Structure 1
């Protein structure tokens, strides 16, 4: 494959005529446990965010800042997008995928994205759509989250998190 330097210093594949870049993000499965009188165990609730006009439900996540560790970025992004204060309990998985970014571009850009997903216990805050990027937020049971989440990789994160809860 013949490659050359493309716009903004990225690599360009002559066959597809688009530049390439990598992006590292982090986020998480932010959860709380609700005690219900008479219930044998607490009910787990997971915070989800909506984007794309409320059509796409997903886990809160976003890009790392320069020098930031993915664990720190996950906690920060959940706070910025949901208003929830969290602590990291465990690493769940790394999701990797490639997509074509055409947003506000004359030439499409191929993006290889890596997203580190953590299990995050909510320790404070109030669930709210604080960010301009977020069009809705909601608490869901794990089953509701599995049904609402748009991306299968994020559904897998919920399944992995199930092993940590009572």
Structure 2
């Protein structure tokens, strides 16, 4: 029996999720790993499938900006879909065997995994032929409502994208769009239907088991993720606020970044953040936990090297003199817009934005 490795990433920035799909897909294509199921949450974002109509985004750009919701175009099927915290997103990266070379069967199988999961909570769900996804209620009923969106992509029987199951999702965000272009029906969540919050990890367990059963795969344990920290160091306030950027030496990539580093054995994230800040800048001070933890893949290595990172921030006086460590060959104090433009990775940019809000920069 072939294996299924289930990765539970927690929060993943949407563009980092696309990179994860790409790297896992290439590794699967080359036979460097077995089938994988990536389980994660995205920050608030509207994704447009290949058949999407921009008119199905009904909110103004100003409202989207005020609510922190972004827009992203994808290569999956379907129309407009919302992703956000409390929603379990699953990306099956499967190389379908010859006996499963049937696109409709694949979609039905993904739907069946969700239907079985919901049944464990006493929720009777099903499909509606004219509309994609998993639904509660009957097709012609006025209370028919979608609980899970399905949008898949297949290339030479290698799958990507997948499903978005509303567990504890913030449902008012669906008012920003016409979900999947369907005006005749509503949207719901497990929390709304059950009248209580539902532990996401519990749902992940059930989804993983049903994917293994439906696709006849043996569950395998993933390797633990590498744990890292990033620290945004700021000085000044208001228009005078500045962010410290460090340039990695050419042999280490040559790009600009904030303070970053790995956790040492037995070290907690806050301890690692304070240590890395001292080692890379010479500053000893307390760090502020930004409550930002996300996962991503490092570089373009196949199979990917997987990282879970915690974000922190700190302040220093205007006269602090930076003493660079061995990893960097230059530093600059720049304003926040310049920092956001220079930083090459979404997670680092998010760390800077959160630091500005928390520290009042």
Q: TM-score, normalised by structure 2?
A: 0.36
Tell me which of 32, 37, 43 is aligned to 2:235. 32
Over the aligned positions, Cα root-mean-square deviation in angstroms equals: 3.2
Is 1:56 matched up with 2:248? no
- Quote the residue 2:330 is aligned against: 136
**Higher strand fraction: Structure 1 or Structure 2?**
1
Residues 111 and 56 (structure 1), Cα distance of their counterparts in 2 relative to 1, 3 Å cut: same
The alignment partner of 2:349 has SS state of helix
Q: Secondary structure at the match of 1:27?
A: strand
Report the counterpart of residue 9 of structure 1 in structure 2: none
The CA distance in 2 between the partners of 1:134 and 1:24, in whole Å, is 21
> What are structure 2's unaligned runs of at least 5 residues?
5-27, 35-221
1:47-126 equivalences in 2 (<5 Å)? 47-53=244-250, 55-99=254-298, 110-122=304-316, 126=321
Q: Distance in 2 between matches of 1:64 and 1:76?
A: 10
Q: Which has the higher helix share?
A: 2
The answer (yes or no) to whether the contact 2:269–2:310 under 8 Å persists in 1 is yes
Partner residue, 1:7: none
| Deviation readout 1:84-141 (Å, 9 max, x if unpaired) | 2232133241131123686xxxxx663210111111122685213222x212211111
Residue 85 of structure 1: SS of its match in structure 2? coil
Q: Distance in 2 between matches of 1:17 and 1:90?
A: 35
* Partner residue, 1:160: 354
Which stretch has the larger CA shift, 59-68 or 90-99?
Answer: 90-99
Give 1 or 2 for the bigger CA radius of gyration.
2
Q: Which runs of 5+ in 1 are unaligned?
A: 4-12, 35-40, 103-107
Instruction: Please say if residues 128 and 137 of structure 1, whose CA atoms lie closer than 8 Å, have aligned partners that are also in contact.
Output: no
> Which residue does 1:15 correspond to in 2?
31
Query: Hey, what's the Cα distance between the residues in 1 that align with 2:299 and 2:233?
Result: 28
| 3-state secondary structure, aligned to 1:135 | strand
Task: Summarize deviations over 1:39-73 as a string: whole Å, max 9, x none.
Answer: xx572111111115274111111111111110110
TM-score by length of 1: 0.72
Which structure has more relative contact order (CA 8 Å, sep 6+)? It is 1
Could you say which residue in structure 2 is the equivalent of 1:43? 240
CA distance in 1, matches of 2:224, 2:249: 23
